[in-house]
Structure 1
């Protein structure tokens, strides 16, 4: 008797692999918050010199999303999109600090354990 169904060799790993590719990787939120949204840097990014290797000669740039667009109409359309609005909402939240990340890993001063004075009173 022949094989009844095809073997499912990849076990749904394709989408995970696609997501981990670095060719479509943009700047992280903390990089944009700390560097790009600074008023001095933002002005430089919005008024970039002409670069023949960038889309739209580098003249149509969204600072929040860190992306270049071909035309001004495409940039205007992007500003009205859900993707841009979602990104702006995510940028309003404060970036994680090094201290917060250390506390989450249990390395900081207060790593979730109650202090000695709290333990003595109970």
Structure 2
């Protein structure tokens, strides 16, 4: 009798392991960019000794948000692929809240944010109509103001 092939194909899938790995999860890129500000970076590099952290918390990589046991391990880490990839990713600016809302579809075409009570496509149509009415009213106000100005100039 031969061995039957196992059906669990996900056990050797690196992508799944990385996706669900939370034990060694580090800070996200926008949090690290906040840590790279000069006042925050100096605070992180000059931490008091902590017995719970590796190397008493004295060897810290700010870009990767990781502690190392000694200076040699930190310098080896800085030469590595993982650190260089993280630095390359940090060169791009972080997304703002406005960009995130636009990507999620929480803004209209004219850039105005939707209120939290507005949900669904029917609400989006009514909001668009309301914005169109406001735009027409503003255009009428501008036309009235410009006609008043031309009347003053001609007098």
Normalised TM-score (structure 1): 0.78
Counterpart CA distance in 1 for 2:102 and 2:78 is 36
Deviation of the 1:38 alpha carbon: 1.2
CA–CA separation in structure 2 for the residues paired with 1:52 and 1:4: 51
State the 4+ residue runs in structure 1 displaced beyond 2 angstroms: 2-7
Whole-Å separation in 1 of the counterparts to 2:18 and 2:91: 28
Q: Between 89-98 and 18-27, report the one with greater CA deviation.
A: 18-27
Residue deviations 1:60-96, cap 9 Å, x none?
Answer: 0000000000110111111111111110110010111
Please, which runs of 5 or more residues in structure 1 have no aligned partner? 117-122
Q: Quote how far apart the aligned CAs of 1:14 are.
A: 6.1
Displacement of 1:18 in angstroms is 5.6
> How many equivalent residue pairs?
110
Measure the CA separation in 1 of the matches of 2:81 and 2:21. Answer: 23
Candidates 9, 12, 37, aligned match of 2:10: 12
Root-mean-square deviation (Å): 2.3
- For structure 2, list consecutive stretches of 5 or more residues without a partner in the other structure: 111-131, 133-155
TM-score, scaled to structure 2: 0.63
